[in-house]
Each structure stands twice: as C-alpha cells, then as structure tokens.
Structure 1
Amino acid sequence: MTEMNSVMNTVNGSYDGSAWIGLYDDVNSWRWSLGNTELAFNSWKTECQYKFCVCLNYLNWSEAQRYCREHHTDLVSIRNETENERIDLYSNLINVWIGLYRTRSWSDQSNSTFSNWRSGEPNNAGDSEYCTAVSFSDAGEWTDENCDYQLPFICYNVSPLASSRQYHFISVNKSWSEAQTYCRQNYTDLATIDNMTEMNSVMNTVNGSYNGSAWIGLYDDVNSWRWSLDDDDFYQEGEREFRNWFHEPNNYVGDELCVLLDYNGNWADFSCDSSQSFLCYDGRANTSQNYVLVLEGKTWHEAQRHCREFYTDLAIVRNETEHQQILDVTLFSGYNMYIWIGLYRNRLWSDQSSSTFTYWLPETSYVYPQPDNGLYVTGLHGSQHCTTVSLQSFGQWTDESCFERLPFFCYGGESICLYNDIKNIR
C-alpha cells in the first residue's frame, strides 16, 4: 500500500480516469500451489466427439487458436458439408470460433474452399471483423466477428494414438520420381508423415531388414513461391508473379524458404528462422500509408503474425510501382539493412497434403545439419531437393539428389482401428 499511495501521488489530482499498470492476465500460466510441480494436468471443460473437440471456456480467437494448437491440433477447418453437419452436434451453443480468419485462410493453412456464410455475411461490420464463428442460432451458418470477442471454440484433433495411413517398404532402387510413379500405381502415393507416431510406423515396416536411406514423399519445389496475403481480390492477372531477384533464389543452405528485401530493393531467399525487421502491408480503408516498416527483429512467421494482427499482412509487391513505394518507405527511414516481405514457399508432399511435420537430422560432431542442399557435398551443392529417411540415423531425414536410386516408402489404405475405436476398446 505504501507503493500504491506513491503511485497515486504521482498524479497529484491532475487526472481522475483509468491508467495502465504492469499487471496482466497470462491465461496459460496456471500452476499448482506446490511450486515444484509442473502443470501436467488440467480440467478445462472440453467435450470431444469424432475428431472435433468443443471447449466451453470463453477466449478470443487468437487465444482459442493457441489453446487448440497446444492441446489438440488446431482450430477446426470445415472442408465439406459432412463435417459441417458434425459441427451441429454442438448446436446447444450460440456462437463458437472456428479456424477461418482474415484473408479467408484456415488457421491450419489447409486449402479448403468450403463456406457456409449466413445471408449478408461476411460484412466486416465496423471494419474490424476478421475472424469466423459458427452461429448455432442460425442453423450453423457462419458469421464474421471481431477477433477480440470472447467465445467458446471448436478444435480438431488428429490423435497421436493411431495413424490413418498404412506404410509399405519397397526394397527396389528407384529415383524419387520413379518411386512416386510406382507408389501411385500400386498404392496411394509416396509416404506422407504427419507425426512421430506415423514416423515410428514407417520405421516398423522395415523391421530391421535395411539400414540405409529410403525415399519419402517430401520434396523441395524451388519454384513454389507465393504471397502470405492469399486473397484473389488483391491481385490482377500477372501480379502474383512479380519478382525482383538479384542472383537469387539459391536456397544456399537448404532451408531458405522466406524472402528478404535489401536497401537496394533486391530480393534474396533466406532462412525463415532468422530475426529481421519487416514490412507490413496495410490494405484497410482510409489508411494513409500502405506500407509500414517495423524496426523490430522477428522471424518471418512472427512478423507475419504481427502484420496480420495490426495491419493486413506482410508486404505484398504486385508491380514495379509498389516496389518503388516500398523503397521510398525504407529509404526515407534511413534503414539500410534487410527486411522481411510476404513472399515464401514450403516444401511439398507428393500427395499435396498440408503436413508441416519434419524430422530432419540435426548437427552433431559427426554430421552436418539437414537439410543442406548439398552444401557440404562436392559436386552436389544446389541439387538436393528430395527427402529420405535415414534408417541408420533412427529415421531422421536428409535431403538428397532426386536422381539417386534408393528404396522407398509408399502409403495406402486406411487403418482398421480409428481413434474412437481404440478408446472404446480400452
């Protein structure tokens, strides 16, 4: 109270409203009274049916997304009418968050184009409604809402207890593309791997009979660049393809999947995990400046989140005019280093799934870190674009030349025991 009185005295009667102090509510900081015990268990009111879990705690959209990613898989994506009907199981609620948000992308980056908007929605009332809710008072139709509203929400859950894929080890040496053709003709595709449970399943198909390297479906499409702002309304014909590379991209160390702009306006690919300043694009109505320079070091994905929260997205560059506008902003600020823009790419799976799971071989005293795009291999630098499982390295992954001839893993068929069946058996 002595300090509280000191706080009051600093105002000296000159102000009688509210003022911030440093206390804030970290909603994920729960801990037990016994201070040396980690919070390994909590009992939030969550109900799961099929692969969907509804959480009855009221959170804003970003908090709900974070909760789903920590405790399940992500906020729910709805890909078709069947899944939308399953959501109706929770029709006793009024509104709940789902994974669709500004730029009409799904939280888990899936490419579903299904929608179920209520008539007149989305309407972006007040120029602030960027997240999506299911309105059960309107037969499950969708509305756009202010992302800061506190609502229940629905997660989806890819259970780690069971894999939906059956893997097959093919002990025949083929190039990556030949292996892809074989898998598509005889099974479903080259192996896609979503989690460590599936990674262990891949390993078990070999059963100790082979300890070399074998192809899986992940490959590095060096031409798959796209903009973070993935909204067709922002682009005219040809504008998505504008580039200003300077002796780039070269994917020099094998993991350069994001793009920096230098003080001369040249573009270069770089590791997304590097901490850099960044440029946001502000496409909201009545804005006085379309490009905003943020002189704060963040990774590319952190920068993307910042720009989406406070503006529209990381900077898009659709033509030479906009490129010059960006240079005017950066030169006027006197900034002469590198900044993130919104261009990026991903490694792709042969079956075009959106899995982001990786299991790269880390650096040790004996080996270089993977992927490296052949950086340390004489004659192969810049030519290792396909991925193998290294059985001699506990299944960890390496990038190799796609023309090398190796055995490979296919997947095909559905497993008999689904997650709910396992729960019931137990």
Structure 2
Amino acid sequence: MFSLVFFSAFITCTLCVPRQYIFVNENKTWTEAQSYCRDKYTDLVTVENEQETVQLLNTVNDYNSIDLAWIGLYDDLNSWKWTLEDSDFFKEGEKHFRKWYSPGPVRYGENICVSMYNAWYEKDCNLLLTSVCYDGRENASAGYVFISLYQTWKQAQSYCREHHTDLVSIRNEHENQKIQHVFSDFNNFETWIGLYGTRSWSDRSNSTFTFWITGEPDNAGYCTAVSFSDSGKWKDENCNYEIPFVCYSELATSRQYHFISVNKSWSEAQTYCRQNYIDLATIDNMTEMNSVMNTVNGSYNGSAWIGQYDDVNSWRWSLDDDDFYQEGEREFRNWFHEPDNSGGNELCVYINEDGKWFDVSCDNTLSFVCYENSTHSYIKISDGRNWTEARRYCREHHTDLVNVRNETENQKIVESTGGGVWIGLYRNRIWSDNQFPAI
C-alpha cells in the first residue's frame, strides 16, 4: 500500500547527514538529559573523533563557567559480548549463558574482560593470563586448546584467531564443565575466555573512539561526562549527578534532488533511481519539501512519486535495545484476527483483557504500561494518553513503553494491568531507502 500519492514523474535525491551539537545549560541527571535530547533533538551526543571533540567544545563560548557536561556514553552493565561473532554458532539463548562468581560483576574501569577459574570473573583486559582457544576448523585436532602463554586479553584474542578460530565462547553449563574437565591438569591457572564488556552510546552507534582523562574511568559512576576544563576529555560520573549536557541533531541539509519527467510505476521509478542515483526521494521536513518543489521550478504541474510507502509488516518495538532481546523475541506477536489497518491509519498496538493485541489509531486515548529497567518491572499508568504521549512519559519517568517478548510476559502484563493498555509495538510508514521516520 503506497501512502503518499504522486504519480507521473518521480524525484530522486542524494543524501549526507551533518550533525549539529546543542549545549543545554540545565542541570539534569544523565537519564533526564537523555530524555530531553531524544524529545527535542536526536539524542545525547556521540563523539566519533577528535575533530568532533573540537566541535563539541565550540558549543560553549566560556569554558571557565562550565566544568562537566553529559555525553551519550554509558556503561550498560548487561552489555557483555562474545568475541566470536558467528550467529550460526549460538542457538537461542546461548549468547546469554553466564557462570559468574557470587555476587557477580560490578564492571570496574574501561577495559573489562572475563577470565575463568572455578567461576567467571571480571578482569582488567591488560592483565597477563593464560587463555583457552576454540578451534572450529574441519581439520582441528581438538575443539578447545589451552594456551599457556601469559598475554593480555587482546593478545590472547589475536593469538587464537591466528592459530585457531577465536577465544572460547561458552554456550551452556555442559560446555562450561567440559572445559573445566579438559583443563583439570591446569586448574591452578586463571584463563581468558572470549567474553568482554563495552560501554555503549545512547543512540546505539558503533563508535569506538575514546578520549579519557588519564586515570579514567575510575568507577565513580556508569555515565560519561566531558570536561570543558580539560580539553574535552572524558570522565565517568554517578548517573544521578545533575550537570549540563550536550545533544545532537541530524541536519538533512545536503540532499540533491533530480526531477525525472518520465512516466513510470512506483516500482519502476524506484528501480530507475537506485540504478542511476541512490533512491527515490526521502523528505524529512518543510525545508526539504521546498527543495523538491524548487527542483521542478514550475516546469511541471502534475504529480510525482516520492519514496514513502506503507509496509504492512514493518512492526517495530519502541525499546530498541539489542541486549534486551534473545533470538526470536523481537518477532513475538499475539494478534486477534489482526492487524487489519482499518481506515488505513492503525499504526499502534494495545493489549486487551484477554491478552490479545489489536492495531488502532495512535491518536486514541488509553492507559499504558511502562517497563522499568532498574527493577525489571511493569508500571501501569492510568492517565489516558495517545501512544506518542505514553511513550514520551515512559521514557522520561521509567525506561520505555513495555515490550512483550513471549507468552509468559504477555500473561504477566495482563494480570498486572487488566488489559486495555498501550504497549510499545508500532508500525511506521517507511521510505524506499529504509529510513524510519519517528512516529
């Protein structure tokens, strides 16, 4: 179903997206600052290189009046990853198997890797330990290989990748016991395994750039602040500390549009644009709409295709956190003869008293359920709000609108709320170049 109807000719564009930094001189906690930036701009700032550090510093005219400000980097205590990035190696849930010592990791410092002894321990990645490699090659003489060399975690990773497959990934209790049994002769050695922890950016970007003050992070807190008094370098702080912050906004100002006065179907126009340019036109605001109109410059009075269409399968969850879902959980649905998109504008989802899901207009006014990450609980908000207002409330006061990953969670939400509430699932009209405009 195509939702914006321009017909005869078509318009394509070329895109690059520069960023604008916005310094907000209001004292807020890191979470409050994140909500503010997401509500009014794009997100808390992500810094990808030293040039962007200079740009960030230039957002404040008087360095002497400002010491610290939040940026988007934080330490997600659940963001442990395996170095072996082979999705076929792991079955459902196996990436999340852990065998921590009691009471478990506290994530001290920036470089946190995991060692194995009688249990799993968090360690500074620069320590020198033995290691265990996994060898998945067809001609391998053994699946697990003990390496008696004392190396840092990074050196051990490189060694395993060069001589075998990778540092060992442990998927379940059986493998954990097998490795301990195989190396029982080396039970006095603490060895590296392939699990490590990384800090994350609020906007989920993959930037690996760091700019820490010497001695930082020092476990003062899990959120990151930029120091304007120390050349824009970073330090970790308690996330509840109230300081100013820096947002960023993506400015789509560098798009070039091309008007093609040839009659084609939408699919034919899409194919032509992808072959000769980038894609059919994506339009994010009135400035870009004016650019489109200026491309024609009064020489054409008919209609023209642009890139937006209605993909009935493009359901998404409001909480866009990969670590929150195990394999297949993003796709859980509990429809009741739905979705039917009655009236052509049913883009949001509520759950009824029987636990069944219905698509309705996002402008409806309903109670809603927030998910609270710190306590892993659900909070019903009885105030009637439309879906967008409900999501904004949940993000400001809790974590997000509730996401439902399986039948057990679905039933738990019904029992705790009685149904008739918004959940975090929504469907967006999307652009041909796969951009999802915010609902």
TM-score, scaled relative to structure 1: 0.58
1:315 to 402, 418, 426: 402
- Relative to structure 1, the CA distance from residue 132 to residue 192 in structure 2 (aligned partners, 3 Å threshold; closer, same or farther) is farther
Measure the CA separation in 1 of the matches of 2:383 and 2:322: 30
Distance 1:51 1:304, change over 3 A: closer
Distance apart, 1:316 and its partner CA: 1.5
Q: Tell me the equivalent position of 2:46.
A: 78
Q: 1:134 aligns with which of 212, 226, 232?
A: 226
Deviation at 1:88?
Answer: 4.5
Distance 1:265 1:172 in 2: 50
State the 1:210 CA deviation: 2.7
Partner residue in 2 for 1:231: 321
- Separation in structure 1 between the aligned mates of residue 403 and residue 219 of structure 2, nearest angstrom: 24
1:110-189 counterparts in 2 under 5 A?
112-114=205-207, 116=209, 125=221, 133-136=225-228, 137=230, 139-141=232-234, 143=236, 146=239, 149-156=242-249, 158=251, 163-189=253-279
Q: Measured at CA, do residues 225 and 122 of structure 1 come closer, stay the same or move farther in structure 2, by a change above 3 Å?
A: farther
**For 2:344, what is the secondary structure of its paired residue?**
coil
1:96 aligns with 2:69: yes
Q: Deviations over 1:89-139 (max 9, x none)?
A: 469453223457898675xxx6633255659869795xxx6x754345485
User: Are the aligned partners of 2:348 and 2:426 in contact in 1 as well (CA < 8 Å)?
Assistant: yes
Aligned partner of residue 291 in structure 2, secondary structure: helix
RMSD: 3.7
Change (3 A) 1:116 1:300: farther
Distance 1:164 1:273, change over 3 A: same
- 1:237-286 Cα deviation digits (max 9, x unpaired): 1111110011111222222221111111111112222211011223324x
How far apart are the structure 2 equivalents of 1:236 and 1:356? 25
The 5 A counterparts of 1:291-330 are 291-330=378-417
Counterpart AA for 1:78: T
2:330 aligns with one of 214, 219, 240: 240
Residue segments in structure 2 that go unaligned for 5+ positions in a row: 1-17, 77-199
Partner amino acid, structure 2, of 1:86? Q
* One-letter amino acid of the structure 2 residue matched with residue 114 of structure 1: S
**Which residue of structure 2 aligns with residue 52 of structure 1?**
21
TM-score when scaled to structure 2? 0.56
- TM-aligned CA deviation for residue 302 of structure 1: 1.7
AA in 1 matched with 2:364? S
SS class of match (1:141):
strand
**326, 334, 339: which one pairs with 2:421?**
339
Unaligned runs of 5+ in 1: 1-48, 358-426
Query: Secondary structure at the residue paired with 2:380?
Result: strand
**Contact 1:193/1:355, CA 8 A, preserved across alignment:** no
Of 257-266 and 180-189, more deviation after overlay is shown by 180-189
Contact 1:105 1:111 in 2 (8 A): yes
Q: Deviations over 1:50-90 (max 9, x none)?
A: 833434454566478658976xx445543733534532446
Q: Say whether the 8 Å CA contact 1:55–1:152 is kept in structure 2.
A: yes
CA contact (8 A) 1:75 1:98 kept: no
For the residues of structure 2 that align with 1:255 and 1:142, how far apart are their CA atoms? Answer: 46
Distance 1:303 1:57 in 2: 24
User: CA, structure 1 residues 51+349, in 2 after alignment: closer, same or farther (shift >3 Å)?
Assistant: same
3-state SS of the aligned residue for 1:308? helix
Alpha-carbon distance in structure 2 between the residues aligned to 1:213 and 1:222 = 24
Counterparts of 2:238 and 2:20, CA distance in 1: 25
SS of alignment partner, residue 326 of structure 1: helix
Q: Is the 8 A contact 2:21 2:246 kept in 1?
A: no
Q: 1:262 to 1:69 in 2, by over 3 A?
A: closer
Q: Percent identity?
A: 51
CA distance in 1: counterparts of 2:428 and 2:19, whole angstroms: 30
| Alignment partner, residue 374 of structure 1 | none
- Give the 3-state SS of the residue equivalent to 2:370 in structure 1: strand
> Is structure 2 residue 60 aligned with structure 1 residue 87?
no
- Which structure would you say has the larger RCO, counting Cα contacts within 8 Å and 6 or more residues apart? 2
Equivalents in 2 of 1:254, 1:142: separation in Å?
49
- Cα distance in 2, alignment partners of residues 231 and 120 from structure 1: 26
Give the corresponding residue for 1:212.
Answer: 302
Q: CA deviation at 1:183?
A: 1.1
Corresponding residue SS for 2:261: strand
Please give the secondary structure, in 2, of the residue aligned with 1:173: coil
Q: 1:196 to 1:141 in 2, by over 3 A?
A: same
**Partners of 1:57 and 1:255 in 2: CA distance:** 38
User: Residue 130 of structure 2 corresponds to which residue in structure 1?
Assistant: none
